[in-house]
Structure 1
Amino acid sequence: MKLIVLDRDGVINQDSDHYIKTVEEWIPIPGAIEAIARLSKAGYAIAVATNQSGLARGYFSQATLDAMHDKLRELVQQQGGDVDMIAYCPHGPDDDCDCRKPLPGLFQQIASHFGLPDLQQVPVVGDTLRDLEAGMSLGCIPYLVRTGKGERYIAKGLPSDWQITVMDDLSAVADSLLNTTES
């Protein structure tokens, strides 16, 4: 099974240090929706793993989060693709859960959903190190994008013992994966 795990804010849609609180604020990064559709049409199952502490903080409701995810799914479907799973952590940073990245709970949910014992060799795409760390704990191959908070992490310096592939955006990751699988 070909599977890819994507972070949401900063990878698929524009991020904000003040949170994405409304459907209107949920704005796709140019090329991201098309990239997801291309991967889906090429046989990848698409999973999204996203921290959404804005729920716990009261910045938006469950209905608003669901509407954002409906918008994502609809946009991808309009391009001929599918989003197979969206796993999200609704907790705040002090809630002592196991699903808030960098902890692996969301990735364990994804592995379980797809009937996989782990996520060995599954690409994970994030714009922060915590996105990648969560996936790497289950064997994912990390891709850091420059969109969202990615440039900030690159400027600070990446861990030298991590083998991270840095790409401009999700579209570049899709190009790389699809060119590799077509070769």
Structure 2
Amino acid sequence: MTQLVILDRDGVINQDSDHYVKSVDEWIPIPGSTEAIARLSQAGYKVAIATNQSGLARGYFDQQQLDAMHAKMTALVEAAGGRIDGIFFCPHGPDDRCDCRKPLPGMIHQIEQAFDLSAERAYIVGDSLRDLQAGQACGCIPILVRTGKGERTLAKGEGLDGVIICNDLADAVDQILG
């Protein structure tokens, strides 16, 4: 059975910004995150990224800039000996009424279809409640990291029943592989 791990991007893999990560120069990995992804893929997990990117709809960056950020992320993971099996993103704004913007599970369904796998019992790692809710709707095991908006999410304390709390992605991967 192939095991799947779904990761949010901003605040989990790279440093987040309340002003959006808008360029390849602003895309800065959280220490240990790319190596953690490499450890997952080396252990036989399929790794998918599921990220809301409403900055596209808002005009803060374009598809070319997003592709450059994802190329940088992929290259860093590959340099660490790993791979990302798929990058899925919602390009819509909050008022676009799409089904792919987390907390809705549309992106998780896209991942299931692309890999011909169920996300049930897959791990989903995020720094916000909406990340976890998207996965929980599909039966994923939720892990909240304290990086990014994670501390804010913890401080609110809502909807965290049964959620595994980790310091960062490297800690989350220790939990998954442990």
TM-score bucket of the superposed structures, by smaller chain: over 0.9
Look up the SS of the partner of 1:155 in the other structure: helix
Please tell me the root mean square deviation across aligned C-alpha atoms, in Å.
0.8
User: What is the CA–CA distance in structure 1 between the aligned matches of 2:64 and 2:81, rounded to whole Å?
Assistant: 25
User: Given that residues 8 and 51 in structure 2 are in contact (C-alpha distance below 8 angstroms), is that contact kept between their aligned partners in structure 1?
Assistant: yes
Instruction: State the AA in 2 paired with 1:174.
Output: V
| TM-score, normalised by the number of residues in structure 1 | 0.95
- Which residue number corresponds to residue 172 of structure 1? 171
Runs of 4+ in 1 over 2 A off after TM superposition: none
Look up the SS of the partner of 2:154 in the other structure: helix
Matched, 1:49 2:50: yes
User: What is the CA–CA distance in structure 2 between the aligned matches of 1:159 and 1:14, rounded to whole Å?
Assistant: 24
Matched, 1:138 2:143: no
User: What is the CA–CA distance in structure 1 between the aligned matches of 2:175 and 2:97, rounded to whole Å?
Assistant: 37
Give the CA deviation at 1:158.
3.1
- Which residue number corresponds to residue 96 of structure 1? 97
User: What is the CA–CA distance in structure 1 between the aligned matches of 2:23 and 2:58, rounded to whole Å?
Assistant: 14
Instruction: State the AA in 2 paired with 1:129.
Output: L
Look up the SS of the partner of 2:49 in the other structure: strand
| TM-score, normalised by the number of residues in structure 2 | 0.98
Look up the SS of the partner of 2:131 in the other structure: helix
- Which residue number corresponds to residue 155 of structure 1? 155
Instruction: State the AA in 2 paired with 1:153.
Output: T
- Which residue number corresponds to residue 29 of structure 2? 28
Q: How many pairs are equivalent?
A: 177
Give the CA deviation at 1:46.
0.5
User: What is the CA–CA distance in structure 2 between the aligned matches of 1:70 and 1:48, rounded to whole Å?
Assistant: 13
